[in-house]
Amino acid sequence: MITPTPLMQLVAGVWGFKTLAVGIEFGLFTRLAGGRAITVTEAAAEFGMDERPADLLLAASASLGLLEKAGAGYRNSELAEQFLVEGRPYYFGAQIRYSDLRTYLPWHRIGEALRSNRPLTWDPQQQQSMFDTNDPKMVAEFWDAMFSTSRFTAHALADAYDFGAHHRLLDVGGGAGAFPIELCQRLPQLRATILDLPHVCARAEERIADADLTGRIGTVAGDFLADPTLPDGHDVILLSMIMHDWDEATNRALLARCHAALPSGGAIVISELLLNEERTGPPEAALMGMNMLVETEGGKNYSGAEYAIWLDDAGFVDARVVAFDAPGANGAVVARRP
């Protein structure tokens, strides 16, 4: 028998997200790192709240798989221990915090975005793009969120696609360097270059130094949308979580510049949340497309088949999709320059 229960689960989706976000805000999972358990009474004292809200927070977090019961107390689940404790290699809390601060409230006006076809998190009449802002706190939150999402995505991509045959990687719009750091730590033969805006390169250089990879990962300050050419001398180009920000014409122009920058036999890797050919899912790709309505002027999520057509038109051959499971992508479209 069909019931409206799935609809109620959608209604409650925002409750689950806000429970997760407040756990990050309070530092709940970081405080419970290493197997520590906490009772309701202890949580109330530690977080400065009455026992009733403490009880509700812990129970709700456990119901979401973030905590598990340990005697009279609660401790981190494996999921929380790996991804919600600050300082862990694949800490995901920065993405949760950014989404809570930046995109959650604008999503309340999604009908406005659908009617106007304009972003909600920035004003195109005042800014050139969503990346053009004078708010240093939000800039820091954004790039930390992108690194947070990208680091495990890079881990999953490296498991799915063999970068071992490559020696020089160009990460176009590489942000703070999550992909080159993950890949260079795995592959001793690999060197990498990050192409991004000057202030982003500065953040990347800090992350690269922290990873002790300054000698193997460099940065080039530039605008991959405006610069007529891309840096050459690389045998693989990575476009990760880049192309969903832009419309088809912009993406096709970028692929043409990638083709020109690669040598014969060079590869291109497009890592994205890919829609199926029917454009009916999966939800993570389709809903990210809705988020592009909130965050960008022309962005949307595309299917692997669409990328394959664009790659073929740009002169690439042998396009194929490599599937994997990660927060920033569910697959990569890979092709080579003949």
Q: Rounded to an integer, what distance in angstroms lies between the CA atom of residue 100 and that of residue 188?
A: 38
High-pLDDT (> 70) share of the chain, %: 98
pLDDT category of residue 77 using cuts at 50, 70 and 90: very high
Q: Would you state the torsion angle of the CA atoms of residues 262, 266, 272, 274, taken in this order, to the nearest 10 degrees?
A: 120
| 176 contacts 146 by C-beta, under 8 angstroms | yes
pLDDT at res. 80: 98
Per-residue pLDDT tens digits for 107-163: 999 999 999 999 998 888 877 666 666 677 777 888 899 999 999 999 999 999 999
Per-residue pLDDT tens digits for 218-241: 999 999 999 999 999 999 999 999
As given in the structure block, the two tokens for residue 338 are 């003949």
pLDDT at res. 131: 63
Multiple choice CATH, 5-83, 3.30.465.10, 2.40.30.10, 1.10.10.10, 1.20.1090.10: 1.10.10.10
Helices (H) and strands (E) in the chain, counts: 15, 10
CA quadruple 51, 57, 62, 68: dihedral sign: negative
**More confident of the two residues 143 and 179:** 179
pLDDT at res. 46: 97
pLDDT averaged over every residue in the chain: 95
State the pTM of this model.
Answer: 0.94
CA quadruple 314, 290, 155, 94: dihedral sign: positive
In the chain, where are the structural domains located? Answer: 5-83, 93-336
pLDDT at res. 14: 96
11 CB contacts (<8 Å, ≥6 apart)? none
Mean pLDDT of 296-323: 98
pLDDT at res. 133: 63
Per-residue pLDDT tens digits for 9-57: 999 999 999 999 999 999 999 999 999 999 999 999 999 999 999 999 9
pLDDT category of residue 204 using cuts at 50, 70 and 90: very high
Enzyme catalytic residues: 244
Residue 166 has pLDDT above 90, yes or no: yes
Per-residue pLDDT tens digits for 283-297: 999 999 999 999 999
321 CB-contact burial (10 Å; exposed 0-12 / middle 13-18 / buried 19+): middle
pLDDT at res. 134: 66
CATH hierarchy code of domain 93-336: 3.40.50.150
| 176 contacts 214 by C-beta, under 8 angstroms | no
Residue 320 has pLDDT above 70, yes or no: yes
- The length of the chain is 338
